[in-house]
Structure 1
Amino acid sequence: MGVVLRFVLLGTAAGGGFPRWNCACARCAAARDGKLPARGPECAAVTGNSRDWWLLNTSPDIRTQLTAASALWPSPRHTPVRGVLLTDAEANHVAGLSVLRDVPGLKTYASPPVLAALAPARAALDRHDPWEWADSLTEGGFVLAGGLVVTAHPVAGAPPAYVPARASDERWVTAYRVEDLATGCVLVYAPRVHTWSPMLDDLIETADCVVMDGTHFAADETPQAGRRLCVSGPAGSLAALERHPHARRIYTHLTDTNPLLDPASAARAQVTEAGVEVLPDGAEFVI
């Protein structure tokens, strides 16, 4: 394939995947019975030249996810994976780093508080093969092998529970804007968003494709759902995404209580009618 912006959804579920190993709800049971498609924890991959691939987060299932994505298979001696862009420090987004430990010189971008939270893990990984650790919020962004220009943008979010001193910092969670220099095409990747902001509108206005947090469909879905951005409702992400019909819009990071997991649900019909997609794990497309 020529020089184009390619994107693969390696996993599209929230932490724990779908079905969750410790859940016997109706949806998880249906997934175990093969009636609903199973999904791994959220992460993705992007490239601008089909040779140099960059991971967006690394799930605990990253080995299985990479094995299932033929575009990211290694040659006899080399992997096409050049590095990782972390959106936050949540365990389901960083646990896969340990699987990649044998890749020398792997470059990992994250915000300063995320890099600090990962200090013990970074030290352990560097004992295998030293990696490059870089500030994703560096002024002006950064250029990746393959002709991609990336900027990271803080979005509202809390630190993970394992961080001992949960200091307030607006940089715990970021969204990424990835632009292909050759074509000018732009991807916005925002799998964890707690509140909508004008900044997100500005980012998406310049994008050809946006992959957005779809964790919960409705605020009454679970007690936790009411504390973060949901899909439905007048202040939900679907209403916001409808303001940007020019972009391809896709939901990811779906938790097991979310009716969007069922293709036959009224929720899926509502989202589809609005022009927003829910794609399976392994979906690959050109932007």
Structure 2
Amino acid sequence: MLGSAAGGGAPQWNCACPVCRDARRDGRDRTQDTVAVTGDGTAWYLLNAGPDIRTQILRTPELAPGPGLRETPLRGVLLTTAELDHTLGLLSLREAVRISVFATATVTHALTTAFPLRPMLGAYTDLDWRDMPTGVVLDGGLVAQRITVGTKRPRYAGDAPGDDWVSALRLTDTRGGSSFVYATCLPVWTPAFDVFVAGADEVLLDGTFTTDDELTRSTGRPGTAQRMGHLPMAVSRPMTARHPATRFRYGHLNNTNPSSGDDIAGDGLELFTDH
């Protein structure tokens, strides 16, 4: 877990809500949602690339460069949305000799036209932009499966075409069979998603908001969690009981979310250590 907060991090720079005030007082900091995964401990992939990616990589020894001068264990980035808080970190990787980016055609088109991150990044590094259908084989013994869970466009995308805007990923280690589901932007728990998580060892769920009205109660701003594309924890927690053998945790916490406990993921948490 490189980062466990929603866009803006926690505390958010311009927010004086109770959660942000307490975080400042106690010196607690959640950086923005990004996860690093590996099958063999050598080849690593990022699940999204948030704006805090440079700081996150520097404080993660497993992602340190070497032994070659510009050799890095980072093999690529798998994007689950086109949202700014999940993609802006790509610009911080522009020093790479080569970057492999996996995304749906819908997300790629948005990042090429509506927000031209792809051509901007391509001016600095060799881009290997790959389509991510329902499955892809990665280096290091990982297989990534994808399912579309939402159709909400980023604000900047306007009427951009496509339906595969928000994805959940299931990463499986082909050696031992361990599997991890990443679904930090989940608008609704559908029967298809229930099948997708069945049998997984670990699932990281959308923990943006505790309740549907959290944002309004905390800040006075209008808008509900589900209208913003996030299933509240109060709704998803009962769903997890259907899978008693799977460990569920919550990431992507908004700065207004005061949740704590064993199922709340934090920066630096290691989900698997068997590699």
Structure-2-length-normalised TM-score: 0.90
2:25 match: 33
Once residues 134 and 178 of structure 1 are traced to their aligned partners in structure 2, the CA distance between those partners, rounded to angstroms, is: 17
Once residues 66 and 96 of structure 1 are traced to their aligned partners in structure 2, the CA distance between those partners, rounded to angstroms, is: 11
Q: 1:278 aligns with which of 257, 264, 271?
A: 264
1:225 match: 225
Q: CA deviation at 1:105?
A: 2.5
1:66 match: 57
- Structure 2 residue identity aligned to 1:60: P
Contact in 2 for aligned 1:157/1:193 (Cα 8 Å): no
* Runs of 4 or more consecutive aligned structure 1 residues displaced over 3 Å after TM superposition: none
* RMSD between aligned residues: 1.4
Once residues 226 and 46 of structure 1 are traced to their aligned partners in structure 2, the CA distance between those partners, rounded to angstroms, is: 28
Contact in 2 for aligned 1:18/1:40 (Cα 8 Å): yes
Contact in 2 for aligned 1:157/1:194 (Cα 8 Å): no
1:106 aligns with 2:99: yes
Alignment of structure 1 residues 155-234 onto 2, 5 Å: 155-167=149-161, 169-222=162-215, 223-227=223-227, 228-232=230-234
1:13 match: 5
Percentage of matched positions with identical amino acids:
41
1:74-94 C-alpha deviation (Å, 9 max, x unpaired): 114211111000010000000
Once residues 122 and 74 of structure 2 are traced to their aligned partners in structure 1, the CA distance between those partners, rounded to angstroms, is: 17
1:258 aligns with 2:260: no
Q: How many residues align?
A: 259
2:15 match: 23
Once residues 101 and 168 of structure 2 are traced to their aligned partners in structure 1, the CA distance between those partners, rounded to angstroms, is: 15
Once residues 11 and 172 of structure 1 are traced to their aligned partners in structure 2, the CA distance between those partners, rounded to angstroms, is: 21
Gaps of 5+ in 2: 216-222
SS in 2 for 1:251: strand
Q: CA deviation at 1:170?
A: 2.9
Once residues 66 and 199 of structure 1 are traced to their aligned partners in structure 2, the CA distance between those partners, rounded to angstroms, is: 34
Alignment of structure 1 residues 76-91 onto 2, 5 Å: 76=67, 77=69, 78-91=71-84
1:21-52 C-alpha deviation (Å, 9 max, x unpaired): 000111101111116x3100101000001111
Structure-1-length-normalised TM-score: 0.86
1:121 match: 117
Q: 2:46 aligns with which of 42, 55, 75?
A: 55
Once residues 226 and 153 of structure 1 are traced to their aligned partners in structure 2, the CA distance between those partners, rounded to angstroms, is: 19
- Structure 2 residue identity aligned to 1:150: A
Q: CA deviation at 1:226?
A: 4.6
* More deviation, 128-137/171-180: 128-137
Q: CA deviation at 1:134?
A: 0.9
Once residues 117 and 15 of structure 1 are traced to their aligned partners in structure 2, the CA distance between those partners, rounded to angstroms, is: 19
